[in-house]
Amino acid sequence: MPQNARDIRRRIKSVRNTAQITKAMEMVAAAKLRRVQEAVQHSKPYLARMQEMLAHIAGSAHWVKHPLLAQRPVRRTGYLVITADRGLAGAYNAQVIRTALQEFRHKDKSTYTIFAAGRRGRDFFQRHGYPLAGEITGLPDSPTYASVRPLAEAIVRGYAEEQFDELYLIYNEFVNAVTQRPVVKKVLPLSDVSGETRSRTQFLFEPDAETVLKSLLPRYAETLVYQAVLDAKASEHGARMTAMGNATDAAEEMIESLTLSLNRARQAAITTQIVEVVSGAEALK
pLDDT digits (tens, 9 = 90+) for 129-142: 888 888 888 888 88
Residue 102 in 3-state DSSP?
A: helix
- Sheet containing strand 112-117, edge to edge, reads 132-136, 112-117, 77-82, 166-174, 180-188
pLDDT of residue 46: 78
The model's pLDDT over 235-244, given as tens digits with 9 standing for 90+, comes to 899 889 988 9
Residue 251 lies in a domain: no
pLDDT above 70: residue 197 = no
Residue 97 lies in a domain: yes
> Does 189 sit behind a cis peptide bond, omega within 30 degrees of 0 on the bond before it?
yes
Alpha helices (H) in the chain, listed in sequence order:
5-60, 92-104, 119-127, 145-160, 209-284
Distance CA 38, CA 22 (A): 25
The more confident residue out of 215 and 144 is 144
Residue 225 lies in a domain: yes
> Mean of the pLDDT values across residues 36-58?
77
Percent of the chain beyond pLDDT 70? 85
The model's pLDDT over 199-225, given as tens digits with 9 standing for 90+, comes to 555 666 666 666 777 777 888 888 888
Residue 21 lies in a domain: no
Q: What is the DSSP letter of 16?
A: H
Residue 118: domain span: 27-242
Number of compact structural domains in the chain: 1
Q: What is the DSSP letter of 110?
A: G
Residue 6 lies in a domain: no
Q: What is the DSSP letter of 49?
A: H
Rg of the chain on CA atoms, in Å: 28
Question: Which CATH number characterizes residue 159's domain?
Answer: 3.40.1380.10
pLDDT above 80: residue 234 = yes
- Of 30, 21, 31, residue with least CA distance to 242: 30
Residue 250 lies in a domain: no
